[in-house]
Amino acid sequence: MALPPIWSYLAAMPAQIDPFQAISVSRLAHQLKAEGRSIVHMEFGQPSTGAPAAAIAAAHQVLDTDGMGYWESPALRARIARYYRDNYGVEVEPERVILTCGASPALVLALISSFDPGDRVALARPGYVAYRNTLKALHMQPVEIACGAESRFQLTAAHLEALDPAPAGVIVASPANPTGTIIPKEELAAIAEVCRRRGIRIVSDEIYHGLSYVEPAHSMLEFAPDALIVNSFSKYFSMVGWRLGWLLAPKDHVHRARAYVGNLYLTAPSLSQHAALAAMDARDELEGHVEVYRRNRALLLEALPKLGLADIAPPDGAFYIYANIGHLTDDSLSFCKQLLSETGVATAPGVDFDPVGGGRYIRLSFAVSTPEIEEALRRLTPWFAARMADASA
């Protein structure tokens, strides 16, 4: 008996995904730390700060008074809905907010509830490694679009207009990982118009919203009311280990998405939901974190060209600098491991974010403390001076 077309497709294309190489760098960093080495962790995009004080206090109170269980907080969903009204001027019904165990499950939920195996989904290259690999794991086809300095390493409406045939969907990220670039308001509107006309469903990853240094980031929801929005408490809200995110789904999509989330994940952690509700009103403390990142960004932008790293993506937001090291190597993974072993500074190899040209880039996260940035620069300055001398010899 012949297999149905979709199963024939799956049988012919087993999921093959690449490792997240920054994890191997981090593993080496922790090994060196266990051996007594001093390590500056700039390989991952995680704040060095913990959850806001109000969030921790709320968690302590709940631990003492509530046995907890499978639960989705109506109050938190309503507060997230208000966040969209206050920040973007968009009215959102709380029932459209689906709480998840971090942004990664929200991304899986967005993709698996919107597309079928074999569907083509466009994304920028360079881009977050898990976009490409999650699509592959779900037996969807990533359509990577090479985005260079001419488009500020971002997708544009022209890129999507040129795709033939049109993909079923597109993943947009602004601010982006690894570059930190923000898509201007006018370009987001143009992307939304092309997608509306060509029937391309938008998944917008907005986990770095709140972390902007040049201009505010706009939500795709302002221009495409039917977009699926992924967000998280890990970045701006500084709650990485609490594993809490959300998917904002179109009203006619909520029932389907909830059917998936109930079967795949049950509910997000109850304790994290209580804490997150308090975190959303800890604005002064959170903005203090942003000011630290702003100082760190300024220090790196001043220092990196002096190290020979003058060709970088514009870090408008998030907390990354994506730097060209092509004059020193085309093997960024080996470069990062050598850099770590010899200086104790951990960075992420560009090959994670761009399997074609990423061997000539590294990503540095400035989500650490300012003293750590200063210490990293003290170590990097002589190391890069020696590499530059060797390259010019």
Domains 5-49+284-385 and 68-281 share a fold: yes
Each as own residue / partner, the long-range contacts of residues 79-82 (CB below 8 Å, 24 or more positions apart, any chain) are 79/277, 79/280, 80/246, 80/248, 80/280
What DSSP string describes 269-303?
Answer: -HHHHHHHHHHTT-HHHHHHHHHHHHHHHHHHHHH
Q: Which residues of the chain have pLDDT under 50?
A: 1-3, 7, 11
Dist CA 3 CA 83 (whole Å):
47
H/E stretch holding 378 reads helix 370-392
- Helical pair 129-137 and 103-114, crossing angle rounded to 10 deg: 40
46 Cβ contact list (under 8 Å, min separation 6)? 234, 240, 365, 367
Q: 170: closest CA among 149, 198, 151?
A: 198
pLDDT tens for 257-279 read 999 999 999 999 999 999 999 99
For 379, counting Cβ atoms within 10 Å of its Cβ (0-12 exposed, 13-18 middle, 19+ buried), the class is middle
How big is the CA angle at 218 (ends 216 and 270), to the nearest 5 degrees? 100
Give me the CATH topology for the region 5-49+284-385. Aspartate Aminotransferase; domain 2 (3.40.640)
Domain chopping of the chain, boundaries = 5-49+284-385, 68-281
Cα dist from 197 to 98, 123, 297, whole Å: 27, 18, 39
Distance CA 120, CA 137 (A): 13
Please choose, from the candidates 363, 367, 381, 368, the residue with its C-alpha nearest in 3D space to the C-alpha of residue 312: 363
How many whole angstroms from its chain centre is CA 230?
Answer: 10
Nearest by Cα to 211 from 240, 187, 242, 238? 238
Find the helix or strand (DSSP H, E) in which 123 lies. strand 120-125
Check residue 1 and give its pLDDT.
38
Spatial CA neighbour of 37 closest among 377, 315, 317, 375:
375
d(CA 71, CA 82): 20
**What's the rounded Cα separation, in Å, for the pair 88 and 8?**
44
What contacts 216, CB < 8 A, 6 or more positions away? none
The residues near 102 (Cβ < 8 Å, ≥ 6 apart) are 232, 234, 243, 244, 245
Copy the structure tokens of residue 330: 């085309």
- pLDDT value of position 390: 85
Backbone φ and ψ of 233, nearest 5°: -90, 5
State in Å, rounded, how far the first CA of the chain is from the last one.
67
In degrees rounded to 5, what are phi and psi of residue 315?
A: -80, 80
**Which of 3.40.50.170, 3.50.50.60, 3.40.50.1100, 3.40.640.10 would CATH assign to domain 68-281?**
3.40.640.10
